[in-house]
Amino acid sequence: MSQPVDQSGPVEAMMAGDAASRLLGIELAGYGDGWARTRLTVTGDMVNGHDICHGGVIFSLADTAFACACNSWGPVTVAAGADIVFIAPGRRGDVLVAEARMRTSHGRSGIYDVTVTRDDQVIAEFRGRSHTPRNRP
């Protein structure tokens, strides 16, 4: 389950400089080695022309959880690619939660799966591929 968040860890340092996540209101809800949970509340500024949550917002929420999980180990890690499948819409006022988990890693590469939910309903599945550079970017 969720562990107390160490305010000086690599994930907090990364999130402190993450202006995009802050702008969207994405919060770090917990993390540990190889996993992370983020959340946001869908506001009126986040809906598209169909009055549902913009897919880019859902992708950003999942991507932030992915980034936190990748960087939970300590070395700076970046995305090498990602895909998302949208299953159900998010709506104004929904609290969306993204939970990322490492599936596998080899050398400096990893694969992480992120499930985005509203209450107990899955609304999207995201798969991210990570890369740990030899030198910090």
Q: Which tokens hold the place of 122?
A: 């899955």
Overall pTM surpassing 0.85 (yes/no): yes
Every domain of the chain and the residues it spans? 10-131
Q: Strand 95-106 vs strand 109-118: parallel, antiparallel, or unpaired? A: antiparallel
Terminal-residue alpha carbon distance, the chain: 32
pLDDT tens, residue by residue, 30-41 = 999 999 999 999
Band of residue 133 on the pLDDT scale cut at 50, 70, 90:
confident
Provide CATH code, domain 10-131: 3.10.129.10
pLDDT tens, residue by residue, 21-74 = 999 999 999 999 999 999 999 999 999 999 999 999 999 999 999 999 998 987
